[in-house]
Amino acid sequence: MSSSKGHPTRPIVRTAKTSKSKKTPTSNPASRKPAAKKPTLLSGGNPQIAKADGDAPVQAYIAAIPGWKRDVGRRLDALIARAVPGVRKAVKWNSPFYGVDGQGWFLSFHCFTKYVKVAFFRGALLRPLLHGKSKQKEVRYLDIHEDDQLDEKQLTSWIRQAAAIPGWNGGRSSN
């Protein structure tokens, strides 16, 4: 069969009407909860989490980290929260950020394939000095690999030092 314009047409198939069945709670679209979408993992297994302020997006980021790096994320978050009561948290650029209100951000971490990179934004001022240098003269890094033994006492000292000095303001002018 073809239409008057030369295009093939599809035959119309009619089905018999069936009686309406009782709706169950699961058949009502308004009552269904959407399935929680798993975050996309970027290169190195870093979770892609929407930019947001607060503890909830940071916890979502940590929950989405794959494998051994999730335990590192949990330990870092717990250490930071204990060392800096009232710490401000956010996810920016697919990484959790930690800061002090009125002082800016002092720390962030990011997952890579073989390690977790902790960035101290004013790390050049911390003692003892961290060895991981950056292109930015004030930033210092701590890379945590799977089998590394974390010196929690030293890490807590760096966290407290970093929180006590003015941090990074996210690129905003201080005027």
Give me the domains of the chain, ranges plus CATH numbers: 42-164 (3.90.1150.200)
Query: Quick one: pLDDT at residue 69?
Result: 97
- Measured distance CA(102)–CA(94) in Å, rounded: 23
Query: Quick one: pLDDT at residue 70?
Result: 97
Query: Quick one: pLDDT at residue 44?
Result: 78
Residue 122, classed as helix, strand or coil, is coil
Give every CB contact of residue 92 below 8 A, 6+ residues apart in sequence.
51, 108, 170
Q: Tokens 């948290």 sit at which residue?
A: 89
Query: Quick one: pLDDT at residue 34?
Result: 53
Query: Quick one: pLDDT at residue 32?
Result: 54
Low-confidence ranges of the chain (pLDDT < 70): 1-37, 171-175
> pTM, whole model, 2 decimals?
0.76
Query: Quick one: pLDDT at residue 43?
Result: 76
Q: How far is CA 32 from the centre of its chain?
A: 27
